[in-house]
Amino acid sequence: MKRLLTYFKFSKTEQNGFFIILVIIILFIVLYTIITKQRTGDPIPNQVKVFEQSFHDSTEIIDSPNKKYINEKVNVEKKNNIHKKRPTIDSEDAKLFYFNPNNLSVTEWRKLGLSDKQITVIKNYEKKGGSFKVKEDLKKVYSINSRLYKKLEPYINIKPVVEKTIEKAPMLYDKYETNKSELIDVNTCDTVALMRLKGIGTILSKRILKYRDVLGGFYRIEQLKEVYGVSVETYEMIKDEIVVSNVDGVKKININQIDANSLAKHPYLSPKDAKLIINYRDQHGNYANIEDLAKIGTLSDLAIAKIAPYLIFENDSR
């Protein structure tokens, strides 16, 4: 410990030198403080300014999203103010009146409150051949939004265009068409006569005659729709040019004499129906009239009604 204290013992000369250095340091500190105070004046206001500047800088960096939002909001408000100055349908200058949008003048469009840009679009639409036949056609113009159309719609007045019919002079071909031959009887005609009808060709005419033979003849023109290939459209085209006049020529079936196999060949009866009819006849005797077929119970009313014109009820002579 004594050895350690020897390091802190100074001579008289060293003590004087240390004291002089300490005084010089204190003088420098005092002088620096005085000079700094004279340059900056009051330190408190200066610190306030430094704080304000640092706070401003921090808000520029940290709160940049808010600043962007504020700037966007200001820009939107400016934009809205600009749009308010444009003439619209709600402006005081707009005067609604009944109008036809076809070839309406620029001046009248302006009176309705449309801007020049909107009018230009409409005029370009008309130059390209566009027209307004009904009110809703005004929606086709992209410059007319739904809000503007809703305002204008009650005042749109489009007169229907009456197309002028040009009467053509009668030609020889027209005279030939009006002076057609008499109606075609489908029970007596041939394929040549049928092919004169619209929509009837070689194949279809042969099918009609073949079906006529299987039926035993037509008793109603509607039966043509049962022929394979005769569509509804084809029938509508030919129905006014055909007729069934020779009903007496329809072949009749003697229900009390025919066998099941022969009866089943008729298009209106299935093999099962034919067998039931013959079995019932064999068990209960001959049929007296069409009402007796209803006693079988398995034949539908439609099947009986369709086959009835082709049946006769003569007693078996055997």
The DSSP string of 48-61 is HHHHHHHHHHHHHH
Do both 134 and 195 map to the same domain? no
Quick check: 251 and 216 in contact, CB under 8 A? Answer: yes
Do both 244 and 295 map to the same domain? no
Last residue of a domain, one of 249, 266, 282: 249
Short-list 198, 312, 302, 296, CA closest to 253: 312
Lowest mean pLDDT among 52-56, 192-196, 269-273, 306-310: 52-56
106-137 confidence digits (pLDDT tens): 998 888 888 898 889 888 888 877 788 888 88
Question: The tokens of 196 are what?
Answer: 């004169």
What CA–CA distance (Å, rounded) separates 216 from 310?
A: 8
What CA–CA distance (Å, rounded) separates 41 from 18?
A: 35
Q: DSSP letter at 138? A: G
Q: Sign (positive/negative) of CA torsion 173, 176, 178, 182?
A: negative
Lowest mean pLDDT among 55-69, 200-214, 247-261, 299-313: 55-69
Mean pLDDT on 34-58: 54
What is residue 103's three-state secondary structure? Answer: coil
| Position 77 confidence tier, pLDDT thresholds 50, 70, 90 | low
Domain annotation covers residue 79:
no
Short-list 135, 116, 115, 137, CA closest to 126: 137
Do both 93 and 147 map to the same domain? yes
Total domains present in the chain: 3
What CA–CA distance (Å, rounded) separates 81 from 79?
A: 5
Domain annotation covers residue 133:
yes
Place of tokens 């305002």: 151
Domain annotation covers residue 187:
yes
Quick one: pLDDT at residue 84?
45
244-281 confidence digits (pLDDT tens): 887 777 899 999 999 999 999 999 999 999 999 999 99
Helix (H) or strand (E) holding 83, with range, is helix 64-85
Quick check: 183 and 242 in contact, CB under 8 A? Answer: yes
What is residue 311's three-state secondary structure? Answer: strand
Domain annotation covers residue 239:
yes
In Å, how far from its chain's centre is CA 72?
39
Quick one: pLDDT at residue 302?
86
Which residues touch 254 (CB under 8 Å, ≥6 apart)?
Answer: 311, 312, 313, 314
Domain annotation covers residue 105:
yes
| Position 317 confidence tier, pLDDT thresholds 50, 70, 90 | very low
Q: Please report which residue ranges of the chain form alpha helices under DSSP H.
A: 2-5, 12-40, 43-62, 64-85, 106-111, 116-127, 146-152, 172-178, 191-194, 202-215, 232-238, 260-263, 271-284, 301-307
Structural domain boundaries, residue 239: 183-249
Domain annotation covers residue 232:
yes
Report the CATH number that the domain containing residue 296 is assigned in CATH: 1.10.150.280
Do both 109 and 127 map to the same domain? yes
211-239 confidence digits (pLDDT tens): 999 999 998 999 999 999 999 999 999 99
155-191 confidence digits (pLDDT tens): 888 876 555 444 544 444 444 443 445 799 999 999 9
Place of tokens 């060709």: 201
What CA–CA distance (Å, rounded) separates 274 from 258?
A: 10
Mean pLDDT on 13-33: 86
What CA–CA distance (Å, rounded) separates 16 from 13?
A: 5
